[in-house]
Amino acid sequence: MRCQICTYALGSGKVTTVLGCAEIYEAPNWSRDGAHLLVNGGGRLFRLPLDRPRLEPVDTGALTQLNNDHGLSPDGRMLAISDKTEHGQSAVYVLPAAGGTPRPVTPARPSYWHGWSPDGATLAYVGRRDGCFDICTCPVAGGRETRLTSGFDHCDGPDYTPDGQWIWFNAERGGRVDLWRMHPDGSGLSQMTDDATVNWFPHPSPDGKHLLYLAFPPRTQGHPFGKEVTLRLMPAGGGPARDLVGIFGGQGSINVPCWAPDSRAFAFVRYPRSDGGW
């Protein structure tokens, strides 16, 4: 097996392997009805029913070079994806959750989707603008892009809190990568972690109580695949984090929102260690 798609139960700390795969899959989302996961692999998107685990292709039309930045709208009816088929650079599209013809949201490229506002009206994504990767937003219907960050070396992973008051993200400055949050208009910028680990991909839980994120070892460059990493949990408003589980992973493990709708579990992907363990 080249990966395991797993869930983690907060109450018990139990890790359940939903499916072991002979190919690499990444970035699980959890459906709004709790019935299935969505993962990407080989440039395509797949649905994974939890009651009978198997990978079922999702129709994304002519787009066949998806990356691992995808996710469902708050009402579960729409799906945002990031794909480079048309332009050679990642662009953001939306389509029906069951599959169908994608519609481009913004012409600005490259852009990588990461978050959907709770009211379903706005997408948050990271885009390379003027040589830097910054956090941007745009109406789902299309329209003017708003660039929210500046002054960082690199930003990534924007995700909204369920009350819509904050966007969490990770950002690099002066060789350190920490978690930050800001209001959706870019105001109220606050640093939320301050430690030696390299912290990526913060995901607020749907019940507004927790924040899940991925911690790489100190001095890690970027967010590479194939590292000993730790999944960590902190209170929603910030504060001391606790380690949940160590995995071999990194890129592809929890790039996008991955909580179960009841906030009792989340999904992640892990990869085999060189000794054959997980």
- What is the tens place of the pLDDT at every residue in 221-257? 999 999 999 999 999 999 999 999 999 999 999 999 9
Report the percent of the chain where pLDDT is more than 90: 98
Domain ranges of the chain: 3-270
Q: Which two tokens stand for residue 259?
A: 């909580």
How far is 81 from 143, CA to CA, in rounded Å?
17
With beta carbons less than 8 A apart as the criterion, state whether 6 and 267 touch: yes
| Whether the predicted pLDDT of 163 surpasses 90 | yes
Positive or negative, the Cα torsion across 197, 166, 147, 250? positive
Report the percent of the chain where pLDDT is more than 70: 100
Phi then psi for residue 229, to 5 deg, are: -125, 165
Say what the pLDDT of residue 168 is: 98
Query: Where residue 98 falls among pLDDT bands split at 50, 70, 90?
Result: very high
Query: Which tens digits make up the pLDDT trace of 3-24?
Result: 999 999 999 999 999 999 999 9
Query: Which tens digits make up the pLDDT trace of 14-59?
Result: 999 999 999 999 999 999 999 999 999 999 999 999 999 999 999 9
Please state, rounded to an integer, the average pLDDT across all residues of the chain: 97
Question: Which residue reads 């870019």 in tokens?
Answer: 186
How far is 167 from 146, CA to CA, in rounded Å?
14
Say what the pLDDT of residue 231 is: 98
Q: Which CATH architecture has domain 3-270?
A: 6 Propeller (2.120)
- Give, as one character, the DSSP assignment of residue 48: E
| Whether the predicted pLDDT of 96 surpasses 90 | yes
Element (H, E) at 273: none
| Whether the predicted pLDDT of 276 surpasses 90 | no
Q: What is the pTM of this model?
A: 0.98
